[in-house]
Amino acid sequence: MSSLTRLFVPQLRAVQIWGAENGAGKTIASTILTWAAARRPRRDKNRMVVFLKPFNVGKGDTSEFLVRSAISKLLAGRHRPEWLKIQSLVHWPEWETSEEAMDTEGPGDREDAEKSRTMDGRTEEWSEAPAYDELDLHLMKPIRNFLIQKSKGLPPPGGWVFMETLGSPETRLPWGLNQADAYACSNLTSSNVLVGVASKQGGDKIIAACEALRARNLSVHGAMVFRDSDEAQHERVAAYFEELRVPCAMLRAIPARHPDARKDSRIMGDFFRAMAAYHPVQSLMHNVNRRHQLEIFERLAEPTDETEKEYLKLARSEVQRPLPKDVILAADIQEDIIKRFRV
């Protein structure tokens, strides 16, 4: 296996948004987190908040467009500031993921559909061996270059980047790997947040997606679960994450679309503002920040310049600072703090 590009930028706290399934509400959750980060107070004027869709497929409205539209309405006529970035990197309009193929093709075609996909108008066969070099060239390096470019000149404590994945962890990518395997071997340093809907079938899919990530050593550091009418699934999902000691934000159900565009905009704006200020979402942000500071200790054990020294100094002070009331740290963060500081 080739050595893939290492993706760690100390100036940016990275959050990777995973969905339990297609339509799980990843873009809604990404908008909530982006707005939550954008409204956080800063000690100075230097800041950076980024929504990034590394890989887009299809010909419909992209996540980038939907987040841009929502943020524009939340700004209520004000210009979007330079430090608030909304962007996608790679867009293959003709690429058809395996999940989309399963929805559109008959049962007899599914085996063939797994072997062949449409890519830029050409039919490509899945290679038996994953194309790691191609994955690195076409996806991981563009992500890394983007993060480095956006992080230049950012003083501590740096900025935020929310990276939304496709479909589910099992969604196939063009390079012979599913999405979870691709990111598991990429050395991407991020906090993983799983998004799902606690519906009758959604509960099973949330748990299955979490187990799929954990099986690849992709720890889930937080969950954002939208409520549904099935109260038993709420309790089941909450108990599952409690057992894993993973903070889980149980959010209000996503509002139904209103036929009146103006009313729909107002309803969704109120929803985004309320959820961005919601205590469990703020707790999730604290977890991401703590985990990032601990990662700095590991990666910058021997700082090479003044900027790295500043980030290391800030990381120590932030990790040792008492948490706000009622914030629950994820299990792996608790263990790292105990190990590093013997608290």
**Any domain includes 45:** yes
- Tokens 């703590």 found at: 290
How open is the CA angle 256-260-262, to the nearest 5 degrees?
A: 100
**Any domain includes 315:** no
Backbone φ and ψ of 223, nearest 5°: -135, 145
β-bridge partners, 159: 12
Give the number of other CB atoms < 10 A from CB of residue 22: 15
pLDDT of residue 192: 94
- Measure Cα distances from 321 to 240, 276, 289 in Å: 29, 23, 12
**Any domain includes 343:** no
**Any domain includes 141:** yes
DSSP notation for 134-191 = HHIIIIIHHHHHHHHHHHTTPPTT-EEEEEE-SSSTT-B-TTSSBHHHHHHTTTB--E
Q: Which of 271, 189, 191 lies closest to 226, judged by CA?
A: 271
- Tokens (6 digits) for 248: 């889980």
- Tokens (6 digits) for 237: 């999902």
Backbone φ and ψ of 224, nearest 5°: -125, 110
**Maximum C-alpha span of the chain:** 61
- Assign residue 89 the CATH number of its domain: 3.40.50.300
Q: Which of 160, 166, 245, 232 lies closest to 198, judged by CA?
A: 232
**Any domain includes 319:** no
Query: What dihedral angle (degrees, nearest 10) is formed by the CA atoms of 63, 66, 72, 76?
Result: -140
- HSE-up of residue 109 (Cα within 13 Å, Cβ side): 11
**Any domain includes 264:** yes
pLDDT of residue 302: 77
- Torsion sign (Cα): 339, 287, 249, 173: negative
**Any domain includes 63:** yes
pLDDT means over runs of 10, the chain (343 residues):
62 93 93 92 69 83 86 88 89 62 32 34 50 88 88 84 94 89 81 94 95 93 91 92 93 93 93 95 90 83 80 83 74 74 55
Helices (H) then strands (E): counts for the chain: 13, 9
**Under 8 Å CB-to-CB from 287, ≥6 apart: which residues?**
191, 221, 222, 247, 327, 329, 330, 333
- Tokens (6 digits) for 84: 């608030």
**Any domain includes 324:** no
Tell me which residue range forms the domain holding 44.
12-276
State the total domains in the chain.
1
Radius of gyration of the chain (CA): 20
3-state secondary structure at position 28? helix
pLDDT of residue 132: 86
Nearest-angstrom CA–CA distance, 229 and 233: 9
